[in-house]
Structure 1
């Protein structure tokens, strides 16, 4: 069996995403899957898992190889808190269970990748901070945080990762641009993993701001 590249997506579905933002998120994410399917290397190794978080945290797409990934409808309630810490807890549990370390009979998976998208801040800040060191200890190849819209607070994402992008809005055009950039990042990730080099992000388009 080929070595797998696992990509985990944590997507904010709290109440502030209701309406146009969640529609834009659906269009952007499903467009990402279509773009990735044009890359033979991604088709060969990429496996995707999707976790949504509002008052509830759900692994709406368990780890699935790209070829068998089905279009997904991401939903959100009209009103709900943002349980980002609980999402990290579930992610930590899943990665520890799903990532293959390697044996004499089978090669280890590549370092996993994590993309976390939010338009606000954690409602469960203490749990969020409790799980940050545990997530970092899993040794992801890269963790990308996306702060989308005017109410997204960058500071909390910066506690988790140095790779944070800022989107001014959560409209369809901006989210499509973001997920196009994510597609490029994943394609670079699938290629660089095979060479043993670290994953480096491609330059962002003008709609995205890399926070330094």
Structure 2
């Protein structure tokens, strides 16, 4: 069975401390439970969660959905947002872990990337340096999510054309966003092999697509 790798880059900088990080944990848990109800996702989906604040951490290495265990994600009370460093880390992971096809064996399906942030990169020079390298990894889709008033849509737009904005990072909004993420993953999973790009499902009212 060919794998569909899905990578999550999650901002855990100081501004996420308190209710937002708890809401993020709850929303992620709901998303995983939803995906597990899809037999096709259980067969082919592999998930990885990488968090970034002052440090970048691989919270969950790339693992099949059936064996995926979501740990509690935490964040410091303050500190920078090293999005560029996170992209650098992701670049190395995708290059080493996503299986490429050979003349005798098909590789993984094109991976998906979801980047969630409530701010903007503290390391903008590295962030911009990594953008063409990330785009060169042949993701089937990259979704950037800017949550809250301090989140920078324009910085995410440099990385991907698909940027959504959430007015807040509260529990109800994040739940709706990650429900939409699970719908996107399921749609991407079902369309693999028939189309090059993932067609995004219509977002709920809480998720504003930035044109």
Residue in 2 aligned with 1:188?
Answer: 187
Q: For residues 174-206 of structure 1, what are the alpha-carbon distances to aligned partners after superposition, in whole Å with 9 as ceiling and x for unaligned?
A: 000000000000000000113234211100001
- TM-score, length-scaled by structure 1: 0.98
* Mapped partners of 1:121, 1:9: distance in 2: 17
Deviations 1:51-87 (A, max 9, x none): 0000000011000100000122110000110000000
Aligned to 2:40: 41
Q: Secondary structure of the residue that 2:15 maps to in structure 1?
A: helix
Alignment partner of 1:95 is 2:98 = no
Equivalent-residue separation in structure 2 for 1:134 and 1:197 (angstroms): 19
Q: Using the alignment, how far apart are the partners of 1:143 and 1:119 within structure 2?
A: 17
Query: Per-residue deviation at 1:105?
Result: 4.0
- Where structure 1 has 5 or more consecutive residues not aligned to the other structure, the ranges are none
Is the Cα contact below 8 Å between 2:140 and 2:196 reproduced in 1? no
Give the equivalent residue in structure 2 for 1:8.
7
Which residue of 2 is the match for residue 142 of structure 1? 141
User: Scaled by the length of structure 2, what TM-score is found?
Assistant: 0.98
Equivalent in the alignment of 2:110: 111
Determine the C-alpha separation between the residues in 1 that align with 2:51 and 2:196.
30
Contact 2:156 2:163 (C-alpha < 8 Å) held by counterparts: yes
What is the 5 A alignment of 1:52-131?
A: 52-131=51-130
Q: In structure 1, how many angstroms separate the alpha carbons of the residues matched to 2:197 and 2:209? A: 19
For 1:165 and 1:176, how far apart are their aligned partners in 2? 14
* Structure 1 SS opposite 2:41: helix
CA RMSD of aligned residues (A): 0.8
Matched, 1:154 2:169: no
Q: Is the 8 A contact 2:82 2:122 kept in 1?
A: yes
Confirm or deny: 8 A CA contact 1:30 1:72 kept in the other structure. no
| Alignment length (residue pairs) | 211
> For 1:14 and 1:36, how far apart are their aligned partners in 2?
27
For 2:200 and 2:130, the matched residues in 1 are separated by 24
Q: Does 2:166 correspond to 1:167?
A: yes
Question: Runs ≥4 in structure 1, deviation > 3 angstroms?
Answer: none
Find the counterpart in structure 2 of residue 27 from structure 1. 26
- Asked if the contact 1:9/1:50 (under 8 Å) is kept, the reply is yes
Distance 1:20 1:63 in 2: 27
